[in-house]
Each structure stands twice: as C-alpha cells, then as structure tokens.
C-alpha cells in the first residue's frame, strides 16, 4: 500500500471514529426541554410510535410526559391504549388528564367500559377527561357503557356529570334520553343542564319539548339556538308555534336556526310564515336561509317571494340559492330565470344554474346541462355532471367516461364517488388503470378510488380488481392513502397490513420545529384584513404547532391574499382559504390533524378537513359554540377582536391580506 493510500485509509478511519463518537454523544447526552418536545412533535407528524416517544412517556419533566401522551393519542397506533391507560394515575394531574383525553383519540373501543369504572376513583379533573374519552370510544351498540354513563350522572363533581351527558351524546346512546330527562329535573348546575339540553336536542327527543320551550327564553343565545334545534328535530306538537316565535329572536344565529327548522314543516301556516318573513327580510344570510327552507318545504307560496327577491338582489349567494329554490319548487317555470344566468362570469352562479336545472328534473333540460358540462370551470362541470347522471340515464356511460378523463380532479372524484355509492362494477377496471398512474394522479382521486375498492370488497370480498386497487393503495407514496388501504384490509378483509405503512413525510424538520419552539414561547397573532374590516386572532402554537407553522408559511407566501370566504352558514361557521373557491381546493398537500382539549366556542378558529389528517389551507371561524367539532377538528386559534366583522361576512367577501404579529 502506497503512502497516499495509507493516509486516505487513516483519514477514513478517523472520520468513522468521529461519526461514531458523535452518534454516541448525541444519543446519550441530556437534551433540553425544547429538543425533547421537538422530537415528540416530529414523531407525531410522522405518525410513528417510536421507542424514544415511548421513553418520553416516562420523562422527568411533566410537560414532556404530557406532550408525549398527547402525541401517542394523536398517532393512534396499535397498542397506544396500553401505554396511556396507566398514565391516568400520573402524579401530575395535568399529565393524567392529558393521557385520559389522548386515550379517547386512539379508537381502541375496548377501553371504554374500563375507563368509566376507573373514573369513579380518579380525581375529578382526570375523571372528567376519562368520561369524555369514553364518549369518543363508545358507540350506540355498547349498551353496558351507556348504562355506566348514566350512573356517572350521580358523580359529585358537576364537571364529570357534564362530561357524562356529552359522552352519552357522542356515543349515540339515544335510548338513554328518558334517563337524561328525568335526571335534569333535579339538576341545579347550569352547565350540566345545558349539556343535557344539547344532548336531548341532538337526539330530537320529543318528550323533552317542555325543556326546549323553557330554554327559548334563556339569556344565552347558544342555549336558545339549541332549544330551537331540539324543537325542530322532535316535531313536537308545540314546535311549529314556538319556532315561529323564535324567528323574532334578537340573535341572528337563533333566527337562522328557527328558519332552518321551520323548513321541515310543510303546513300551510309554516309556509306562510317563511314567505312573509322573506318578503320583509334584508339580511343577506337570512334571505339565503329562508330560500333554502322554502325549497325544503316545496312551497309555492314561498317561491313567489323568491322570484320577487331575485329581481332586487344580485348577490351571488342570493342568486344561487334563489335559482335552486325555483328549480326545485316551480320546475320548468324556473327555466326562464335560469337561462338568463348561464353565461354569467361568476362560476358559482353557473354552477348553481346546473344544479337548478337538475332540480327541475325533466329530460328536456338535458341539452342545457350538456352545454354546462363543457364549461371552462371545473365547479360548473361538476354540478352539470351530478345533474346529468340523475337525468340522462340513457347516456351514463358517456358521462362517466368523459368525467373520468376530466382535467379537474373534483369532476373525477365526483364520478368515482357515484360509482362507489351505486357499486357500478363495470367501471372498476378503469379506476384500476387510473390508480396505476400513481403520483401523476391527484391525491384526492387516488384516495377516493381506494375507498371505492373498499366498498366493492364489502359487497364481494373476492373481487380481484378491487384487490388490485387495494394493493396499489397500500404501497401509495401518500401516507393517508396507505393508511386508508390498511384500514380496509383490517376492517373488511381482517388482514393486518399496517406494517406496510411507513412513516408519513414531514414538512418541517426537527431544526425548524426547535427554532419555532424558541421563537413562539408566547403564541403569535394574526390579523385577517377583509373588505368588511380586520379580524384579530391568537394562533395556538402551543396547542397545534405544525398547523400554525403551516399557516404562517402560507401567510408569508401571500397565499391567502385575494381569496374569498366560500362558505357562510349563519349560527355555524364562516370558512375561507380555498384557492378554488368551492371548498375543494387547498395548498396541494395534507397536514396532520392536531386534536386537543380546546373547546369550540364562539370565535374559535379551526381547520377544515375531509377526514383525519387531510387538513390544508382552509380554515373556519365558529359563529357559536360547536361541541360536536371538539376532538374532531384541529383548533388553530381564537378570535380576540373583530367578531363583529366575522358576523358581517357573506359568500364572496375577500381576504385582502393576512399579517402575522408577535406580542
């Protein structure tokens, strides 16, 4: 060996020794709290239950233990429950409560009954979260768990009793409605009573009508809105009368709720009430709500007022709602109204025209729909496709083949969903071919095709083409698709393929996460500048760090500038952040959900998804408390100023810009 080779060998050996030494040092050295939290967040983002994450469950620092427990719940890997169940006895009550909450995210239903038993002996702060978790794990078939939850209504802590009421709702235990109604008669704690009210209203329990009527005069608009919902769903004898009264409430959310519920009554009096209210209404959101309710009633009386309204208002939201109402109620009498708007520049209105034609439901409309099915905008083509599939049954093959080759992914997804819902076996080979193109095909299309294969396998477990699609799904490059395929293997085929689901790709490295933990020791703030004014909100980096980092990145790229609020539902949410403007668009990649104990109250900012771990750029602001969203959608922040601006927003209002501020 010459001297050069000897020196090179020596250098290589030294480098190897240095690398080994660094590895050993890095592996065994003490890490700062920020470093530990960064590793936990990274593993959570990867959806990977690692040995180091399990190690952090035993960390000395309670913040690290609690954060690791939350990560384990969010990941939801097999065996998570076994890791979390013992942590509910942690000496630190915050850690114990977090572990109980996290267990409710794992979907390990076998722990539901055990958690209720344990709750009786736990400190109230932990018992509250344990009972809450039971509601997320249980289902309507778990009769013993429902019985146990009713027994928890005797717990001395009102927080636990409140959690038990909500758990009965989340578990869908409608059979326990009589027990709840009997219980509330002797319950004095106001939050507990409101939890009973909410649960009975969601169940639509008719015998609770007197309770609903009582709360129509409550000082809390949310309680009144809940009572309105309960009366409408119960169809109690007194409901129509009280809903008509509630339309005069001082809160617009309550009024909108009363309008929506009254739309479920088809008496002449109910139809007259809505028609008269529409005649004098000037608020855009309530006009739209009235038109939708009149459509539901199929009210000719109301349709006359709808047509009158369309002559005085040009707002896209009102025009779209009015056209659909006229198409559904007046049938071909609406053609003259629809025809005049099919060439409008706004795609939202042209799409409404396509939907309205479909609601007319006559074959002589098909030629008009055919024109719209070739519109330049995917939103319009999608609406036309839905109507054509329903009306032009002689040419469904043509419409499906055209849709499956469309350049807009929403058109394709719509076709695939129809194939899935109607089990149209003949199209499976085409879907298999589309799936074989891999990443060249939009991720939403691939995910829907895999879900479709699962539906076919439920019908015929031996369908070879569906099996082929599922195999491609479990090896897809996208984590959500791989997980979806593995879940179908488990639930439909009783096969374990989760070992084929590698960790998810991450968008933020451990260095970026650690830097952010140092930078945002105090949560940042965002100012959303709209046409109606500015909305200021605190961003909950401490609760959903990856979601907030993604939002800040998009803001810095000016992604949101000029986008519209595409969804406005009175008493529910205002939603924006979609570059398409139809609710289907986003940033082009999925973000993991970061569920938390944060409640959805008025002004809470959440992340819109189409399933677990499918978040992106779209966000919404709640206009009233929304308990059914809790633990199911990431809470990203809270409005701290400007809710009066949020209340004024309507469909089409623009986000001029968003600014990030640090305080």
Residue 24 confidence (pLDDT): 45
Measured CA to CA, the distance from residue 269 to residue 280 in angstroms comes to 17
pLDDT of the residue at 376: 97
Is the CB of residue 616 less than 8 Å from the CB of residue 591?
Answer: yes
Q: What value does the mean pLDDT take over residues 492-513? A: 94
Question: pLDDT per residue over 155-164, tens digit each?
Answer: 999 999 999 9
Q: How many CB atoms lie within 10 A of CB 305?
A: 24
> What's the pLDDT at 22?
47
385-405: pLDDT as tens digits: 999 999 999 999 999 999 999
Higher pLDDT, 382 or 313: 382
pLDDT at 153: 97
Q: Which of 487, 548, 586, 641 is nearest to 41 (CA)?
A: 548
Residue-wise pLDDT for 326-346, tens only, equals 999 999 999 999 999 999 999
Region 573-588 average pLDDT: 96
Tens digit of each residue's pLDDT (9 = 90 or more) over 227-251 = 999 999 999 999 999 999 999 999 9
C-alpha–C-alpha distance, residues 311 and 309, integer Å: 5
Scan for tokens 């005085």, then name that residue: 312
**pLDDT at position 21 over 90:** no
Going by C-alpha positions, the residue among 570, 568, 569, 567 that lies closest to residue 578 is 567
The confidence score (pLDDT) of residue 474 equals 97
Q: What pLDDT is recorded for position 30?
A: 72
Distance CA 572, CA 620 (A): 10
Give the pLDDT score at 533: 98
How much of the chain is in helix, strand and coil states, percent to nearest 5?
Answer: 60, 5, 30
Give the strand pairing for 635-641 and 533-539: antiparallel
| pLDDT at 8 (0 to 100) | 59
Q: What is the pLDDT of residue 508?
A: 94
Categorize the per-residue pLDDT at 25 as very low, low, confident or very high, splitting at 50, 70 and 90.
very low
pLDDT at 529: 98
Q: State the average pLDDT over residues 453-476.
A: 97
For residue 32, how many C-alpha atoms fall within 13 Å in the half-sphere facing its CB?
7
- Look over the chain and give the mean of its residue pLDDT values, rounded to a whole number: 95
Contact 389, 399 (CB under 8 A): yes
Contact 135, 171 (CB under 8 A): yes
Check residue 2 and give its pLDDT.
66
Indicate if the pLDDT at residue 19 is higher than 90: no
**Neighbour order of strands in the sheet with 533-539:** 565-569, 573-576, 619-622, 604-607, 635-641, 533-539, 525-530, 655-661
pLDDT at 639 over 60: yes
- Region 285-293: what's the mean pLDDT? 98
Q: Give the pLDDT band (50/70/90) at residue 662.
A: confident
Mean pLDDT value across residues 291-314: 95
Q: What is the pLDDT of residues 35-93, one digit of tens each?
A: 999 999 999 999 999 999 999 999 999 999 999 999 999 999 999 999 999 999 999 99
Tokens of 506: 């991450």
Across residues 377-391, what is the average pLDDT? 97
Q: How confident is the model at residue 17 (pLDDT cuts 50, 70, 90)?
A: low
pLDDT of residue 60: 96
**Predicted pLDDT at 254:** 98
Which pLDDT does position 3 carry in this prediction?
62
Contact 335, 360 (CB under 8 A): yes
- DSSP 8-state code for residue 495: -
Rounded CA separation 95/125 (Å): 11
pLDDT at 147 over 90: yes
Q: Where are the domains of the chain?
A: 511-661
Are 433 and 427 within 8 A, CB to CB? no
Consecutive H or E run containing 565: strand 565-569
For 208-231, write each residue's pLDDT tens digit.
999 999 999 999 999 999 999 999
Which of the residue ranges 5-14, 114-123, 269-278, 598-607 would you say has the lowest mean pLDDT? 5-14
Helix and strand numbers, DSSP H then E, in the chain: 33, 8
Q: Please give the CATH topology (third level) of the domain spanning 511-661.
A: Cyclophilin (2.40.100)
pLDDT of the residue at 28: 54
Which residues are CB-contacts of 245 (< 8 A; sequence separation ≥ 6)?
A: 216
461 pLDDT more than 80 = yes
Confidence of residue 275 (pLDDT cuts 50, 70, 90): very high
What is the C-alpha to C-alpha distance for residues 411 and 380, in angstroms, rounded to an integer?
9
Of 5-9, 523-527, 552-556, 605-609, the one with minimum mean pLDDT is 5-9
* Banded pLDDT at 13 (limits 50, 70, 90): low
Q: Answer yes or no: is pLDDT of 29 > 60.
A: no
Is a pLDDT exceeding 80 seen at residue 23?
no
Say yes or no to pLDDT of 377 above 70: yes
| Res 18 pLDDT > 60 | no
- 246-284 burial string, b = 16+ CB within 10 Å, else e? bbebebbbbbbbbbbbbbbbeeeebbebbbebbeebeeb
**Arithmetic mean of pLDDT, 137-156:** 97
Looking at 62-111, list the stretches that DSSP marks H as alpha helix, in order from N- to C-terminal side: 62-75, 80-85, 93-103
Q: What is the DSSP string of 375-443?
A: -SSHHHHHHHHHHHHHH-GGGHHHHHHHHHT-SSHHHHHHHHHHHHHTT-GGGHHHHHHHHTTGGGS-H
Predicted pLDDT of residue 66: 98
Q: What would the mean pLDDT of 528-538 be, rounded to a whole number?
A: 97
What is the gyration radius of the CA atoms in the chain, in angstroms?
27
| Listed residue (187, 137, 205) closest to 167, CA to CA | 137
Rounded-to-integer distance, Cα 640 and Cα 534, Å: 11
HEC string of 530-559? ECCEEEEEEECCCCCHHHHHHHHHHHHCCC
Write the pLDDT tens digit of every residue in 84-130.
Answer: 999 999 999 999 999 999 999 999 999 999 999 999 999 999 999 99
Give pTM, 2 decimals: 0.93
Q: How far apart are CA 528 and CA 543, in angstroms?
A: 20
Stretch 533-546: mean pLDDT:
98
Virtual torsion, Cα 190, 191, 192, 195, nearest 10 deg: 120
């Amino acid at each position: 060996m010459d001297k050069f080779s000897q020196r090179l060998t020596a250098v290589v050996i030294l480098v190897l020794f240095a690398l080994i030494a660094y590895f050993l040092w890095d592996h065994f050295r003490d890490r700062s709290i920020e470093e530990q939290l960064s590793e936990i967040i990274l593993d959570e983002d990867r959806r990977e239950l690692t040995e180091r994450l399990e190690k952090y469950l035993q960390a000395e620092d309670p913040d690290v233990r609690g954060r690791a427990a939350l990560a384990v719940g969010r990941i939801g890997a097999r065996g998570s429950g076994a890791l979390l169940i013992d942590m509910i006895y942690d000496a630190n009550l915050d850690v114990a409560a977090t572990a109980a909450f996290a267990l409710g995210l794992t979907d390990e239903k076998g722990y539901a009954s055990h958690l209720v038993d344990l709750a009786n002996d736990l400190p109230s702060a932990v018992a509250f979260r344990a009972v809450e978790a039971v509601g997320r794990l249980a289902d309507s078939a778990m009769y013993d768990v429902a019985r146990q939850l009713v027994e928890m209504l005797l717990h001395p802590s009102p927080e636990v009793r409140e959690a038990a009421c909500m758990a009965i709702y989340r578990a869908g235990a409608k059979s326990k409605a009589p027990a709840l109604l009997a219980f509330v008669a002797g319950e004095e704690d106001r939050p507990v009573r409101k939890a009973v009210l909410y649960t009975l209203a969601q169940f639509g329990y008719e015998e609770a009508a007197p309770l609903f009527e009582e709360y129509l005069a409550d000082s809390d608009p949310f309680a009144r809105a809940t009572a309105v919902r309960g009366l409408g769903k119960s169809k109690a004898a007194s409901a129509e009368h009280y809903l008509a009264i509630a339309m005069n409430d001082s809160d617009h959310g309550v009024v909108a709720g009363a309008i929506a519920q009254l739309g479920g009554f088809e008496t002449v009096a109910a139809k007259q009430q809505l028609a008269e209210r529409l005649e004098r209404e000037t608020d855009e959101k309530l006009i739209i709500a009235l038109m939708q309710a009149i459509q539901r009633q199929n009210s000719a009386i109301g349709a006359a007022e709808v047509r009158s309204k369309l002559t005085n208002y040009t707002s896209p939201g009102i025009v779209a709602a009015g056209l659909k109402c006229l198409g559904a109620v007046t049938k071909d009498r609406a053609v003259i109204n629809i025809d005049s708007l099919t060439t409008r520049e706004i795609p939202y209105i042209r799409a409404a025209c396509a939907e309205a034609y479909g609601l007319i439901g006559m074959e002589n409309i098909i030629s008009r729909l055919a024109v719209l099915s070739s519109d330049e905008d995917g939103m319009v083509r999608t609406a036309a496709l839905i109507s054509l599939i329903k009306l032009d049954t002689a040419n469904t093959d043509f419409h499906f083949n055209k849709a499956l080759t469309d350049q807009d992914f929403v058109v394709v997804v719509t076709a695939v969903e129809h194939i899935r819902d109607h089990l149209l076996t003949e199209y499976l080979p085409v879907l298999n071919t589309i799936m074989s193109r891999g990443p060249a095909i939009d991720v939403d299309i691939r995910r829907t095709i895999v879900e479709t294969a699962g539906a076919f396998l439920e019908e015929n477990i031996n369908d070879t083409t569906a099996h082929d699609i599922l195999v491609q799904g479990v090896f897809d490059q996208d984590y959500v698709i791989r997980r979806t395929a593995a879940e179908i293997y488990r639930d439909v085929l009783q096969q374990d393929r989760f070992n084929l689901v590698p960790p998810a790709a991450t968008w933020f490295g451990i260095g970026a996460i650690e830097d952010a933990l140092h930078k945002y020791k105090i949560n940042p703030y965002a100012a959303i500048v709209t046409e109606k004014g500015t909305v200021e909100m605190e961003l909950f980096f401490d609760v959903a760090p990856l979601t907030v980092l993604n939002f800040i990145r998009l803001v810095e790229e000016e992604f949101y500038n000029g986008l519209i609020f595409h969804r406005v539902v009175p008493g529910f949410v205002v939603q924006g952040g979609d570059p398409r403007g139809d609710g289907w668009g986003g940033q082009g990649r999925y973000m993991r959900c970061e569920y938390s104990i944060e409640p959805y109250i008025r002004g809470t900012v959440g992340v819109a998804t189409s399933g677990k771990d499918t978040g992106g750029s779209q966000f919404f602001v709640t206009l009233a408390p929304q308990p059914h969203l809790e633990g199911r959608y990431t809470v990203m922040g809270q409005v701290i100023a400007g809710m009066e601006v949020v209340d004024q927003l309507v469909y089409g209002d623009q986000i001029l810009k968003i600014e990030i501020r640090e305080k």
